Structure 1
Amino acid sequence: MKRLKKLIKRLFLLTVVVIVIAGCVLAGSGYKMYRDALNHQGLESKVAEIQSNPSYTTLSEMPELYLDAVVAVEDHRFEQHLGIDLIAIGRAAWNNLTSWSLREGGSTITQQLAKNMYFTQEKSFIRKIAEMFMAFRLESSYTKDEILELYLNSIYFGDGYYCVRDASQGYFGKDPIDMTDYESTLLAGIPNAPSVYSLTANPDLAEQRQQYVIQQMVKYGYISEGEGKKIIAVRG
């Protein structure tokens, strides 16, 4: 019995050591990917590149309700975290382990911006770690408003639209500031899966996603349940 206990203890310690070593290797590889990305193009240069887009839109040119909808559905702890959301990462890690996949990332808005700016959409642990390092760099260099603004001017909305102005003009024929509450909540849900929720490809699925957006807004106190029902009822 004592031998069995010793064997179990040794196996446990060996497993811990292997996990620590693997973690260090992954962290080192992720940091190298992060540094290589910055060496290829500095952060200020990358930001300036996004801001040089003729369609670039400031937060003041977007409806407040649209901004609330994006934060509610994509990263409701956006104002509190420093680039990564440990609660969301823990939940995603558990779901990935139980499903033996990398289908859930737990990414914050800052991480998504980092990925869009520097990395591919490939799902890998090394890329995820590099993305985290870049998220920390973004948070230390820019304000939350600047990060959100850059994010909304660099995400994909489907149908070839890579920023909020192009998407609002393409889908609704108007500038972002002129979007109705209905249009704002509809557009906020698309970047989660642009090919799935594109308004031209799957308008019904886009509306289903919109209902989830509104549920999240109600859940986190951005609007009341009654206001959410009114938005759906108006339909533009």
Structure 2
Amino acid sequence: MLKCLAACALAAALCFCGGALIKGYYMYRAAIEEVCLEDKVSAIQAKENYTAFDQLPEIYVDAVLSVEDHRFYSHPGIDVIAIARAAFNDIRAGAFVEGGSTVTQQLAKNLYFTQEKELERKVAEMFLAFDLERSYSKNEILELYVNTIYFGNGYYCVGDASQGYFGKEPEDMTDYESTLLAGVPNAPSCYAPTVSPRLAAQRQAQVVARMVKCGYFTEERAHETLAAEIDW
């Protein structure tokens, strides 16, 4: 009896996943047929405050990758390890509590899709992530990503955020400013420094701790960075 129930559950799960895969593929096809990827990218690059990769401080890049996608330069657009971990946590919680999305998948979402956590949309993201990885270099993908994320206060790219929060170009950001800004997109309504300096500082501390864990910072440099607090 138990074996029969297990077999039925497995069959139902496979049917559900197969249906989501098909629907996700058609969602992906509909999206790129409406506006091709090259046109989407060109529109982003035409932004007034678009920031090129070589204008980003190395510390800012390291901070973003530490908290968003530390295997970015080694995966093909999706991170199987992160997806498996997220799936396990989601199943345990009985809800979508962890995404497992790479920077490439997040860029795909920002270019074409809504923020709703639907399985079909996640599948469509994966197809688009593969397209992005085939068409653009890793640095170009990361460059596009930081020019399409929301930083709070109406700032929708790193250039606007750097100017708005610090009054300077991204390339001139200090280690303190870089690590602070890298933490904001996770929850801009909470972590924007002009909304809550306390929560922004707590998030920044998490970013710096991840940088230490990922090998980008020593403990000493982490302490020095966080000690350089500025007034808001």
Of residues 52, 58, 75, the one that matches 2:52 is 58
Which of 174, 177, 202 is residue 171 of structure 2 equivalent to? Answer: 177
Select the residue among 137, 155, 159 that pairs with 1:165.
159
Offset of residue 20 of structure 1: 1.2
Aligned runs of 1:34-53 on 2, under 5 Å?
34-53=28-47
Q: Secondary structure at the match of 1:189?
A: helix
Q: Which amino acid in 2 is paired with 1:175?
A: E
Residue 95 in 1 paired to residue 103 in 2? no
Which of 95, 99, 124 aligns to 1:130? It is 124
- Pick one of 64, 71, 75 that aligns with 1:70: 64
Q: Does 1:116 align with 2:113?
A: no
Query: CA deviation digits over 1:207-236, x for unaligned, max 9?
Result: 100001100111011111100000011225
The residue type paired with residue 20 of structure 1 is L
Map residues 208-227 of structure 1 onto 2, 5 A cutoff: 208-227=202-221
Q: 1:188 aligns with which of 182, 189, 199?
A: 182
Structure 1, unaligned runs of 5 or more: 1-6
Q: Distance in 1 between matches of 2:137 and 2:172?
A: 26
Match of 1:198 in 2: 192
What TM-score, normalized to structure 2? 0.97
Note the residue ranges of structure 2 that are not aligned, 5 or more in a row.
none
Determine the structure 1 residue equivalent to 2:226: 232
2:24 to 27, 30, 34: 30
Per the normalisation by structure 1, the TM-score is 0.95
Partner of 2:100: 106
- What's the CA shift for 1:164? 0.4
Aligned length: 230
Structure whose CA Rg is larger: 1
Inter-partner Cα distance in structure 2 for 1:32 and 1:202:
41
Query: Could you tell me how far 1:9 is from its partner in structure 2?
Result: 2.3
Identical positions, percent: 56
Aligned CA RMSD, in angstroms, stands at 0.9
- The range that moved more, 9-18 or 55-64, is 9-18
| Cα distance, 1:39 vs structure 2 | 0.6
Amino acid at match of 2:8: L
| Residue 78 of structure 2 corresponds to residue 84 of structure 1 | yes
For residue 57 of structure 1, report the CA deviation from its aligned partner: 0.5
User: How far off its partner does 1:148 sit?
Assistant: 0.2
